[in-house]
Copies of this chain bind each other. A is one copy, B any other.
């Protein structure tokens, strides 16, 4: 259906539900596997390889993002990235997403369309389509995303790590936490870290190549590196020891650490939201490009499955919890 352009300054309450949905839908281009896109009771997507990989996440304003810290286009990119990364962590590639937006009636049309543009641009990085959604009024801006993808080989679970495996990392790690620390103190630089917080750059495709190379377990780092390593350790019933000297601590993290009187390795070990990938591989695996060995898998210690750093319990903040 042709649609009249909507004034970006209009609040949602004056835009009308159907013109708003039409304007959003125009932003979401449909890939060739989409047989029926948005606008009917449901979308229809062709599936080629006999299975789907599915994940869902909620983002709540004030908890997962702040509109004064992150522009709409980046909120959209982050919401998509966080979900695309879950498929990455299974060794898969996403093809379809749905996005629900519960928004205050005074939010502007412009904010929503910028959000949709950021979301669409992030999905385009992996060739995925936004095939459906929902928009409704609420007091607190809440974003609900579901992502669907597929794998070329068997999905890589958290539970497959074996003693003797190496632990490896792919992607920037700690940058988002560094950016958050900067923003929380009212600063806007180092810019590279603030940008990394606003718009993570997950290593899309590294999941698939790790799966094809024989990764035994994998997770995306979203709660915090030590916390997420702990998810692998418990699911696999193993011990994981991380070697702090093995991590590359980027220059801007040193600068922020110095300014805040912190050891910058804390951003790396405790940080989440970069959506880097942490995986285990049999020791003789030729690691794909971009992966760096950062630790070892062992039999669980006396306290049971868990994570140590340089052979000792980790004293820093491992991550965060949702309540």
Contacts and interface: CB of A to CB of B under 8 A. Distances in A.
A101 B100 CA distance: 13
Given A45-B51, A58-B134, A132-B54, A323 B158 contact: no
A139 B151 CA distance: 37
Contacts of A133: 56
B16 A321 contact: yes
Contacts of A98: 54-56, 146
Interface in A55-101: 55-58, 60, 63-64, 86-87, 89-90, 92, 96, 98-101
A158 B17 CA distance: 19
A44 B134 contact: no
A9 interface: no
A313 interface: no
Interface stretch (A33-41, A180-188, A196-204, A244-252): A33-41
B51 A323 contact: no
Contacts of A40: 90, 157-159, 235
A27 interface: no
Given A13-B323, A90-B41, A50 B46 contact: yes
A148 interface: yes
A137 interface: yes
Given A40-B157, A98-B146, A158-B41, A12 B323 contact: yes
Nearest to A320: B17
A142 B138 contact: yes
A42 interface: yes
Contacts of A58: 100-102, 134, 136, 138, 142, 144
B138 A86 contact: no
Which of A39, A50, A139, A159 neighbours the largest number of chain B CB atoms within 10 Å of its CB? A139
A307 interface: no
Interface in A134-169: 134-140, 142, 144, 146-149, 151, 155, 157-159
Contacts of A12: 323
A47 B44 contact: no
Nearest to A217: B40
Nearest to A277: B41
Given A45-B52, A56-B144, 10 more contacts: A15-B323, A35-B51, A36-B155, A46-B51, A52-B52, A56-B98, A56-B134, A57-B100, A64-B136, A140-B142
Interface of A: 1, 12-13, 15-18, 20, 35-36, 39-48, 50-58, 60, 63-64, 86-87, 89-90, 92, 96, 98-102, 105, 131-140, 142, 144, 146-149, 151, 155, 157-159, 218-220, 234-235, 321-323
3 A-B pairs with the lowest CB-CB distances in the bound complex, closest first? A144-B144, A42-B55, A146-B146
